């Protein structure tokens, strides 16, 4: 799984969001380090949808906008995200044990 795909899953952790909100959330969370161009973002969204990790969702009534399309995590998406994070955590633990990475270090 690419980093961008994982970030898309993470963005949807709080509930359904549209493409623009996903992109903006990723950019803000990573402090601008990841700022996917629209084409790349939707490429990932399409692939995640095709793979059944996210699905089109109905908009929250407060933000209904016919042109917007909302996406939500599927159960499979949650599992895959969790598995991916677990995998990353293991990597981090190995890194700490081997003293390649200290807590709080960036």
Partner 1 sequence: MNTTLERIARLLVRLHGREYDASYGDDLIETVTARSERARQRGWFWWAVFSLRELASLLVAAIALRCWPRWQAPAVAAAPAGSRAEQVAREFTLASRRLLHTPTFSLAVLMTLALAIAATVTMFAGLWRIVLAPLPYPSAVRLIDLDHGTPRLGTAAGMGMSIGLFREYAQLPSGDAIALYTRREGTLYGTGAAERARFIQATPGLGEVAGLTIQRGRWFSTAEGVTGSPQVAVITDAMWRQRFGSDPAILGRVLHIDGMAHEIIGVLRPGAGFADHRAQFFIPLPLPRAWTRAGGFNYEGVARLAPAATLEQAHRDQNTVIADLSRRYPADQEIGNAIEGGLHSTARPLKDAVLGDTPPTAWALISAAVVVFLMACANVANLFLVRHESRVREQAVQRALGAGAWHLSAAIACEALWLGLAGGGLAMLLASAAIDLVLAYAPADVPRLHELRIDWIVVTFGAVMSITACVACGLLPLLRLWTRRPAPLVGLERLPLASPAAVRIRQGLMAAQVTLAVLLLCVAGLMTKSFQNLLRVNPGFDAGSRLVFNVNVPRNEYRSRADAAAFHTALLERMRELPGVASVGATSTLPLEGLGLGDPLDVRGRLRLSADATPMVRYRRVSNDYFSAMNVPLRSGRVFDTADADGLTDSVVIDEALARLYFGATEPLGNRIRPIEGDPQDRWLTVVGVVGNSVTEGLTETASVGKLYVPLRGSLWADVPAPHDLTYIALVNGDPLNYVDAARTALSSLNPRIALARPEPLDAVLSRARASQAITMLLLIAAATVAAAVGTIGIYAVVSCAVAQRRAEIGVRIAMGATPSQVTAMIVRHSTAIVATGIVTGVALSVVSARIGRALLFGVAPGDWTIPAQVAISALVVAAAACGWPAWRAARIDPVRALHGGS
Contact residues for 55 (Cβ-Cβ < 8 A; gap 6+) = 49, 71, 72, 74
Minimum CB separation of residue 42 from partner 1 in Å reads 5
The answer to whether residues 24 and 34 touch, using CB atoms and an 8 Å cutoff, is: no
* DSSP label at residue 101: -
2 contributes a contact to partner 1 by CB under 8 A = no
- Give the integer Cα–Cα distance in Å for 73 and 75: 7
Minimum CB separation of residue 81 from partner 1 in Å reads 21
72 contributes a contact to partner 1 by CB under 8 A = no
Stretch in the footprint of partner 1 (CB under 8 A) among 4-12, 61-69, 74-82, 87-95? 61-69
* Beta bridge partner(s), residue 73: 54
45 contributes a contact to partner 1 by CB under 8 A = yes
42 contributes a contact to partner 1 by CB under 8 A = yes
**Phi, psi torsion values for 73, nearest 5 degrees:** -70, 140
Interface with partner 1 by CB under 8 A: which residues? 18-20, 23, 37-43, 45-46, 49, 56, 65-69
């Amino acid at each position: 799984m690419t980093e961008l795909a994982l970030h898309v899953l993470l963005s949807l952790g709080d509930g359904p969001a549209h493409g623009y909100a996903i992109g903006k959330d990723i950019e803000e969370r990573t402090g601008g380090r990841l700022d996917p161009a629209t084409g790349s973002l939707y490429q990932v969204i399409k692939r995640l949808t095709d793979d059944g990790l996210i699905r089109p969702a109905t908009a929250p009534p407060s933000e209904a906008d016919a042109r917007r399309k909302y996406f939500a995590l599927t159960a499979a998406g949650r599992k895959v995200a969790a598995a991916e994070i677990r995998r990353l955590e293991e990597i981090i633990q190995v890194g700490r044990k081997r003293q390649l990475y200290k807590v709080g270090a960036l």
